[in-house]
């Protein structure tokens, strides 16, 4: 039986999604719980990796396991024994052809910036800009060039483990919104490269602060080459918001 699960997590104190020898990843904790439930090693397959410090509101994973007590009881069993910062939201049985990663049609990420210095309840979930106030109009205007299919080679980082992906991705939504001192960046695409969202936010932030021009961003987008040094935005502001499996 194949099970599709949706979970949320605070990534602050975890070493990312994908299993590592240290055992402190989201995948490691969930698989440890599954071992306790099923009495054997069960491997889960996520919709994608998130890095250390990155959060999720709608990460999806699947696994195969024989369970005859229904999805509701499996959900309750999974929720017990996990750290409080990992919560399974939903469990449902699916066809064996479903794959959390390869069946996904769209993913939505949100990145949060705050025009303030870090506070006790804000630093974990925002890039706190201190007294810097970027030009949001310039940032928003530049997002229109990213709609559609593009080579995002200039807006990613090579993992160095041979897992490089096709750099051509299709963006169907991208933009900034401001709520008082909070700035929210949303991007929806058919796939994402390693650190792609954080590199995009870092680029737009540099534009908004007058450190690079719109022409520089366009040159990187059109050539696929990073012509200036750009730092990825900090991990703590990034959330995997949801994964969409509907056909369009």
**Cross-strand pairs, 206:** none
How would you class 113 by CB atoms within 10 Å of its CB: exposed for 0-12, middle for 13-18, buried for 19 or more? buried
Residue 60: Cβ within 10 Å count: 26
Q: Is 72 a catalytic residue?
A: no
Query: In Å, what is the CA distance from 13 to each residue of 48, 69, 114, 189?
Result: 19, 33, 21, 28
Query: In Å, what is the CA distance from 120 to each residue of 117, 126, 180?
Result: 10, 11, 19
User: What's the CA gap between 152 and 193, in Å, rounded?
Assistant: 8
Annotated catalytic residue: which of 10, 28, 51, 166? 51
User: What's the CA gap between 11 and 38, in Å, rounded?
Assistant: 26
Q: Phi-psi bin for 196: left (phi > 0), alpha (psi -120 to 50), beta? A: alpha
Nearest-5° Cα angle at 167, 161 to 173: 125
Tell me the two tokens of residue 27.
């995948």
Residue 211: Cβ within 10 Å count: 13
- Say which DSSP state 236 is in: G
What are the helix and strand counts (H, E) for the chain?
5, 10
Q: Catalytic residue positions?
A: 51
């Amino acid at each position: 039986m194949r099970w599709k699960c949706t979970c949320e997590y605070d990534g602050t104190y975890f070493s990312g999604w994908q299993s590592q020898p240290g055992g402190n990843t989201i995948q490691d904790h969930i698989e440890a719980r599954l071992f306790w439930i099923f009495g054997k090693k069960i491997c889960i397959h996520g919709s994608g990796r998130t890095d250390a410090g990155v959060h999720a509101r709608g990460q999806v994973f699947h696994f195969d396991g024989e369970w005859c007590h229904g999805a509701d009881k499996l959900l309750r069993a999974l929720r017990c024994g996990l750290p409080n910062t990992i919560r399974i939201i939903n469990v449902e049985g699916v066809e064996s052809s479903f794959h959390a990663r390869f069946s996904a049609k769209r993913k939505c990420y949100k990145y949060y910036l705050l025009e303030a210095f870090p506070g006790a309840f804000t630093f974990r979930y925002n890039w706190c800009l201190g007294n810097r106030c970027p030009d949001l109009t310039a940032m928003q205007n530049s997002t229109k060039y990213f709609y559609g299919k593009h080579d995002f080679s200039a807006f990613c980082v090579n993992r160095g483990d041979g897992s490089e992906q096709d750099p051509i991705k299709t963006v169907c939504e991208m933009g900034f919104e401001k709520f008082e001192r909070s700035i929210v960046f949303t991007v929806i695409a058919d796939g994402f490269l390693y650190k792609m969202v954080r590199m995009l936010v870092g680029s737009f932030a540099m534009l908004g602060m007058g450190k690079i021009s719109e022409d520089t961003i366009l040159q990187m987008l059109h050539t696929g080459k990073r012509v200036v040094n750009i730092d990825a935005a900090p991990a703590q502001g990034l959330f995997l918001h949801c994964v969409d499996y509907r056909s369009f």
